[in-house]
Amino acid sequence: VLDHGFVRLVDSMGSDLSIVRAARVSYDAAWRAGEDDSGDARLIRYLWKNQHTTPFEAAVFQFEVKAPIFVLRQWHRHRTWSYSELSARYRPLPEEFYVPDVATIGTQSATSKQAREIGAVDDGERASRARDVGDYRYACSLAFEQYRRLLDRGWPRELARAVLPVATYSHMFAKVDLKNLLHFLSLRLHPHAQHEIRVYAEAIVALIKPIVPVSVGAWREGELAAARSEAP
């Protein structure tokens, strides 16, 4: 993901069947040994559509993520995950920072204070953005040079790191249940979310879909219905 990042599924617990079992306890139904394709799928869609979401907490995922610090800042706003992150107090950080692709830089949005517009790039803009990327790369490299210099002069790692840019890559383990993961995906795949976190959210969808295909389908139907109702 991006130029040096990745997201990897470390571990998972449960499947669509776990959600069905958790829901069926409400009406004291018999233990479901195997999948009953149509009935189970209907139940999952019903639960999601009507926001009976607790059974979706029966499935849990743990991911390993390598991403720029500014992406992890946005990620960590999601309080229902458990995180363990690399500490630059323990070890010096390698010189690895995110450099955006020229085609995804875009321009500040004229209609949204937070967003950017990524459109088709003509040759002139491509050349000018490519020069800017050189300046961006230089600024990040210079910060790393200063960082190493401070470390060489005996500065403690926990202070020297303060000169590094938020484009620097960090690395974490992150665990979440399916209900809260789908909430994260709704927010971070939305067009208002930043491109650099959206690509991680897309990668996560691809990782969990084989494990909980019916739940992902039910969530997608909900997202499409919400998008249709938001459309002018």
Ligand X SMILES: Cc1cc2nc3c(=O)[nH]c(=O)nc-3n(C[C@H](O)[C@H](O)[C@H](O)COP(=O)(O)OP(=O)(O)OC[C@H]3O[C@@H](n4cnc5c(N)ncnc54)[C@H](O)[C@@H]3O)c2cc1C
Catalytic positions, please?
188
Nearer to ligand X (CB atom), residue 24 or residue 78: 78
Selected from 26, 80, 108, 112, the binder of ligand X by CB under 6 A is 80
Contact segment (CB under 6 A) with ligand X among 3-11, 30-38, 46-54, 72-80 equals 72-80
CA nearest neighbour of 45 among 214, 185, 211, 224? 214
Selected from 4, 24, 45, 78, the binder of ligand X by CB under 6 A is 78
**Shortest approach of ligand X to residue 195 CB, angstroms?**
11
Can residue 32 be called a binding residue for ligand X (CB under 6 A)?
no
Can residue 60 be called a binding residue for ligand X (CB under 6 A)?
no
Nearer to ligand X (CB atom), residue 38 or residue 51: 51
- How many binding residues for ligand X (CB under 6 A)? 9
Using the 8-state DSSP alphabet, how is residue 148 labeled? H
Contact segment (CB under 6 A) with ligand X among 11-19, 52-60, 119-127, 185-193 equals 185-193
Can residue 195 be called a binding residue for ligand X (CB under 6 A)?
no
Q: Which residues contact 219 (CB under 8 A, 6 or more apart)?
A: 48, 182, 185, 186
CA nearest neighbour of 129 among 108, 166, 109, 100? 100
Can residue 113 be called a binding residue for ligand X (CB under 6 A)?
no
Q: How many whole angstroms separate alpha carbon 83 and alpha carbon 109?
A: 32
Can residue 192 be called a binding residue for ligand X (CB under 6 A)?
yes
Q: Which residues bind ligand X (CB under 6 A)?
A: 77-80, 180, 183, 187, 192-193
